[in-house]
Amino acid sequence: MEQQVKSKKRVADHGEVFTAEREVNAMLDLVKNETERIESRFLEPACGNGNFLAEILRRKLAVVKRMYGKNPADYEKWSIIALMNIYGVELLNDNAVECRERLYGIWNEAYTAACKKDANDECRRAARFVLEKNILCGNALSLKKVDANGQDTEEPIIFAEWTFIVGSKVKRRDFRLDVLLEENPDQENYSMQLSLFGDTASDADNWMIDPETNKPTPKPIREFEPKDYRRIWEDA
Which stretches of the chain bind ligand SAM, using CB under 6 A? Answer: 14-19, 44, 46-48, 51-52, 89-92, 95, 139-141
Residue type, 10: R
104 vs 190 by CB, closer to ligand SAM: 104
CB 157, min distance to ligand SAM, A: 10
Residue type, 127: A
Q: Which residues contact 41 (CB under 8 A, 6 or more apart)?
A: 85, 87
Indicate the residue whose CB is closest to ligand SAM.
48
Q: Which residues contact 145 (CB under 8 A, 6 or more apart)?
A: 136, 137, 138, 139, 152, 153, 155, 156, 157
CB 22, min distance to ligand SAM, A: 12
CB 207, min distance to ligand SAM, A: 25
172 vs 176 by CB, closer to ligand SAM: 176
| Residue 156: how many other CB atoms lie within 10 Å | 16
Reported residue count of the chain is 236
> Rounded to 5 degrees, what are φ and ψ at 185?
-65, 150
SS3 222: strand
The C-alpha atoms of residue 183 and residue 175 are separated, in whole angstroms, by: 15
CB 10, min distance to ligand SAM, A: 7
Q: Which residues contact 168 (CB under 8 A, 6 or more apart)?
A: 77, 228, 229, 230
45 vs 69 by CB, closer to ligand SAM: 45
CB 142, min distance to ligand SAM, A: 7
91 vs 110 by CB, closer to ligand SAM: 91
144 vs 219 by CB, closer to ligand SAM: 144
The C-alpha atoms of residue 28 and residue 52 are separated, in whole angstroms, by: 8
CB 107, min distance to ligand SAM, A: 19
29 vs 186 by CB, closer to ligand SAM: 29
149 vs 195 by CB, closer to ligand SAM: 149
Q: Are strands 42-44 and 86-90 parallel, antiparallel or unpaired?
A: parallel
CB 126, min distance to ligand SAM, A: 26
